Structure 1
């Protein structure tokens, strides 16, 4: 689904920002007015123009708050959050503008929650001598309290998402309206743990999710027999990986699927990718450097990979990506699993979703979103209403049923 740019990375990030209109995290007019000022592929202009929009919208939020218009302020703060996050996106990891822009995205998000009086608690989870930050959202009971044990959705981000962004991408307002408690948190290679503590990604995410589940089991608001994981993008590897090794996960959603990271990355040119596995490191690195110089898409992907994975070269990246595969462990997943995929996903091919469902076995179902539905891009960012309704319909049915009887999804491409 092309929105504005020829550059795939610029255009997808535009669609990603626009998607959050669904949950009041953006406005179409503000997004289109911003990208209209940005030359295709100009990363510096991208930062400047999105920052300009974010600042204007944050100022409007402050003005509304000053005169007591809290809902107006809350909506504007949340739009400003999206625009600051988007502004930061293509900056180099060591760019001095990145920390303050990230901080503005985080603070405007929290200001929006406060202004809108959203029920939320900022939480931390112990992790290997430090802590991981998160948010706990619990719908109120009829008497105004929030102590009834709730089925709970734990949302995991991916390669570049922030916990704050997951509020919109995972449709937290919709989950709360349906009676779910929701946890958003960031692990190694993500958000604050990466930016502030230098924690890089790791493939064995059962050791990241496990401490989160330990803490949730102690919370009276959480029904510890009905905890589901929703993994977004690269989280479509993290969540199923955790489910494969931790029997406390009652249901798992791969939103979208990402069970074999190297094969997904090699899909555009599989023969060349296989050949590069046997090429000398120096050649792999030279070719990658050429791609970085000639393509903003390739440049961002390599820079973010160095940062997230804690590696230096393209040859190292090849070897690292191969560690992120569930091919050998998918059969260990014994909870109901929903695998989402899009026909036009430019990161991961639909065929890998079919393979993953087959590897997991009878507890897995899939939903393929079609071009005509406007939801066929990665993580269904063209139609988040359809995606989140699909997820929460399935979770409602699944968590009410036995672990061996997954809910169904409507999918005319599969007959499920």
Structure 2
């Protein structure tokens, strides 16, 4: 797979990172190469990917109409990633962003329509708002451990069905992924900005899971990556029903560990929190910290994986988060690993998922 570098002169670093991530997640790298070889610039980026998305969507729709469900699913998935890339340029809820987002969700629904572990749309009500999500459960099992997955600043729940949920399902765990405040549908159509007290939403997720017949209420876990590397620890520290916590790229303090350390992400973070300016966004994120939060039950196990070469969040954030967890935590610093261990994911990520399996399954 061809990997772009941050030195691509005509593309903003955030777009380079987005293309690399989608290519690792399931976008055919040959599709990426073909689009970018047309000389795509930051300004032309959304138009190029929207056109490519429409091409794959039309192929999928024709296959669907002809009863070729497997081909349709494959092509809808390619269309999904193309539309995801289309909206990365926009950090305001302009019509172009919302249209691309809606198209990506429609293509996702087409891609998973006949999936073996088809995700079930759910709504979690908390803090005066409705948060859309998906619940996916392994086939046949009863008393299933379920993990609440909290993703990063520029992710969405659909993307993480493939990149995260399927790996947990293969290990006998159910997965609940919700677009929280400042994420996915919540910020695009719900107008719900990011908030530091994510426990108000994740505790409601635990309430919801307690009503799911096949879910084992004694084996709920929580995991998160990147910005979710702040959300998941906070949710775990403050909610004893989460019996284990896994973190990929830990984030103790959003300002020190992300806003200050990796300035290219500031427009995205400002969008998440719906701030009118970067200056105001930086001020608002001052409350996004684990400082002063006490673990309600430090006997519960936790585990942190962090890339030793992470350019978005420094390794020091992993150690600070470990201190907040307490004595029953494991810290793995992967030498040469990048952000979210994306460049070493084939070896590193199965180890993370196995850790959760070992601590949540019987």
Q: TM-score, normalised by structure 2?
A: 0.91
Gaps of 5+ in 2: none
1:378 correspondence with 2:339: yes
On the 8 A contact 2:218/2:243 being kept in 1, the answer is yes
Give how far 1:211 is off: 0.9
1:13 correspondence with 2:15: no
* Corresponding residue SS for 2:124: strand
Distance 1:90 1:187 in 2: 21
Structure 1 residues 84-132: Cα deviation after superposition (integer angstroms, max 9, x where no partner): 1111011241322111110010011111110435333111111233321
Distance 1:92 1:310 in 2: 9
Distance 2:254 2:285 in 1: 6
* Corresponding residue SS for 1:225: strand
Superposition map of 1:337-416 within 5 A: 337-371=302-336, 376-400=337-361
Residue 325 of structure 1, aligned match among 269, 289, 292: 289
On the 8 A contact 1:119/1:139 being kept in 2, the answer is no
Distance 1:211 1:43 in 2: 39
State the superposition RMSD in angstroms.
2.2
Q: 1:266 to 1:140 in 2, by over 3 A?
A: closer
Q: 1:203 to 1:333 in 2, by over 3 A?
A: farther
Distance 1:4 1:315 in 2: 29
Distance 1:397 1:340 in 2: 16
Paired residue for 1:292? none
Superposition map of 1:42-61 within 5 A: 42-61=41-60
**Largest Rg, 1 or 2:** 1
Superposition map of 1:278-317 within 5 A: 298=264, 301-317=265-281
On the 8 A contact 1:201/1:309 being kept in 2, the answer is yes
Give how far 1:205 is off: 0.9
1:66 correspondence with 2:65: yes
Distance 1:192 1:50 in 2: 20
Paired residue for 1:274? none
Distance 2:200 2:325 in 1: 21
On the 8 A contact 1:71/1:116 being kept in 2, the answer is no
Distance 2:301 2:39 in 1: 44
On the 8 A contact 1:70/1:116 being kept in 2, the answer is no
Give how far 1:67 is off: 2.6
On the 8 A contact 1:244/1:332 being kept in 2, the answer is yes
Gaps of 5+ in 1: 270-296, 402-416
Superposition map of 1:4-403 within 5 A: 4-6=5-7, 7-21=12-26, 26-39=27-40, 42-141=41-140, 148-170=142-164, 172-265=165-258, 268=261, 298=264, 301-329=265-293, 331-332=295-296, 334=298, 335-371=300-336, 376-400=337-361
On the 8 A contact 1:151/1:181 being kept in 2, the answer is yes
* Corresponding residue SS for 1:98: helix
* Corresponding residue SS for 1:388: helix
On the 8 A contact 1:93/1:304 being kept in 2, the answer is no
Aligned residues: 356
On the 8 A contact 1:15/1:381 being kept in 2, the answer is no
Distance 1:154 1:360 in 2: 18
Q: 1:383 to 1:76 in 2, by over 3 A?
A: farther
Give how far 1:234 is off: 0.4
Give how far 1:333 is off: 5.9
Give how far 1:70 is off: 1.4
On the 8 A contact 2:308/2:315 being kept in 1, the answer is yes
On the 8 A contact 1:43/1:91 being kept in 2, the answer is no
